[in-house]
Amino acid sequence: MASFRTVFLGDLFELKNGKTKFIRSYVESNPGTYPVYSASLRQVFGSIDTYDYDGHHLTWIMNGYGGCVQEIHGPFSANRDRGVLVPLEGISVPDLTYLRYAVEPQLRAAAVGRRVDGSNSEYTKVYPDAAAQVSMELPETDSGDLDYTAMARVGMRLRRIEAAKVHVASSQSNLMAAELRIECAEPFIDISLGDANYFELTIGERRLMKDNLDHGVPVYSANVRRPFGLAESTALAHLDEQSLIWGIDGTFDWNLMAAGYEFEATDHCGRVRILDSKLDPTYLLQALRSTRSRYGFDRVFRASMGNIGRVVTVRVPIDNKGRPSLGRQRKLAEEHEKLEAAKQASLDALERVLAAKPRFDA
């Protein structure tokens, strides 16, 4: 059975503060190619024309999500929100990836400050003196020396897992962005959403975040899959019918609102009332979602009511009399729902892979 030894972070490293001079104005006045790291793990604070460190280092966030650890390769600098672990003279430092996994939970536990709703809203800190006293359990050999070989082996395994997760995340992103097309065979007709024989288009009223209440009717805005807030009541009519809504600003998307579902809409949300009973609402939703990227709507070319009515069409299968065929629409909708379910199952599986925490036992 492997044995472990308690090692303090300060036994291996000098824990150094980043420099206070690296603020936004300094970065703007000294542009370059060398990154400056701050409180964000996702992006650098900026790039300047000099650097303070070079090589392979562990760093940790001192202010923000205090105690989060990041490996950095190459030349870089750190500002006052980021600390750097510099190996002590004459000390053999174990594999840094292994150490990152070993020490981060302890550093996170040592951080003090504000945590709201778990770690979803957090401002915590852990400074060098406190971080130096953080301990971790490292494997040792039968002779009582640190087992550098075992830690290097596990570190390599962890790096392989992380590289694989990058590929998984890329696959997940590509799959999420993929639009499942509905292949509608002839005969069919293309109906404009501006055709008043089939559709009635409206938009909601202007509403601000401060107008939201603690309870009431859900209000939809640019994000049509999640309510923007709650209102006392709704001014919308014909809520006993199914209807479609679309987001005017932001990501262009569609949603189907069930008959009898009371909701309100802001002026960033449009609504389509379906006037022809031969049009299946579920099919329309899927057909419109499957073609939404072709129009190029964004914050400049907005999905306004005028643009929706002028450029958006929906392809509808018809019967031998030239009328929309409910049977064909529902069959296509059923097939599309199966594809969407398979896509979602794949996304869920990929998410479980990304959420899994690798073991780093030596």
Residue 361: the pLDDT is 63
Residue 353: the pLDDT is 83
Residue 123: the pLDDT is 86
Which token pair is 169?
């995340």
Does the structure show a pLDDT above 70 at 360? no
Strand partners, 112: 125
For residue 73, give the 3-state DSSP assignment.
strand
Residue 173: the pLDDT is 85
Distance CA 46, CA 82 (A): 13
Distance CA 65, CA 248 (A): 35
Q: Which domains does the chain have, with CATH numbers?
A: 3-146 (3.90.220.20), 188-327 (3.90.220.20)
Helices (H) and strands (E) in the chain, counts: 8, 21
What mean pLDDT do residues 220-247 have?
96
Higher pLDDT, 201 or 347: 201
Residue 31: the pLDDT is 97
What count of residues does the chain have? Answer: 362
Q: Could you tell me the pLDDT band of residue 251, with boundaries at 50, 70 and 90? A: confident
Residue 300: the pLDDT is 87
Which token pair is 141?
């050999």
Residue 122: the pLDDT is 76
CB contact set of 236 (below 8 Å; sequence gap of 6+): 204, 263, 264, 265, 271
Distance CA 138, CA 136 (A): 6
What mean pLDDT do residues 90-117 have?
91
Does the structure show a pLDDT above 70 at 347? yes
Q: Which of 214, 212, 196, 199 is nearest to 266 (CA)?
A: 212
Q: Which of 272, 281, 265 is nearest to 227 (CA)?
A: 265
For residue 218, give the 3-state DSSP assignment.
strand
Does the structure show a pLDDT above 60 at 117? no
Does the structure show a pLDDT above 60 at 118? no
Strand partners, 15: 85
C-alpha angle 286-287-288 in degrees, rounded to nearest 5: 95
Does the structure show a pLDDT above 90 at 120? no
Higher pLDDT, 176 or 56: 56
CB contact set of 232 (below 8 Å; sequence gap of 6+): 213, 216, 217
Does the structure show a pLDDT above 60 at 256? yes
Mean pLDDT taken over the chain: 93
Q: Could you tell me the pLDDT band of residue 307, with boundaries at 50, 70 and 90? A: very high
Identify the top-confidence range among 248-252, 280-284, 340-344.
280-284
What mean pLDDT do residues 244-254 have?
93
Distance CA 81, CA 24 (A): 13
Identify whether 105 is preceded by a cis peptide bond (ω within 30 of 0). no
What mean pLDDT do residues 223-247 have?
96
**pLDDT > 90 in the chain, percent:** 80
What mean pLDDT do residues 89-98 have?
95
C-alpha angle 106-112-113 in degrees, rounded to nearest 5: 145
Distance CA 220, CA 360 (A): 45
Which token pair is 324?
């929309």
Which token pair is 252?
């262009």
Cβ proximity of 158 and 98 under 8 Å: yes
Residue 289: the pLDDT is 93
Distance CA 281, CA 285 (A): 6
Does the structure show a pLDDT above 60 at 252? yes
Residue 124: the pLDDT is 93
Distance CA 140, CA 151 (A): 10
Distance CA 155, CA 163 (A): 12
pLDDT in tens, 32-81: 999 999 999 999 999 999 999 999 999 999 999 999 999 999 999 999 99
Q: Could you tell me the pLDDT band of residue 272, with boundaries at 50, 70 and 90? A: very high
What mean pLDDT do residues 283-299 have?
92
What mean pLDDT do residues 342-352 have?
88
What mean pLDDT do residues 288-294 have?
92
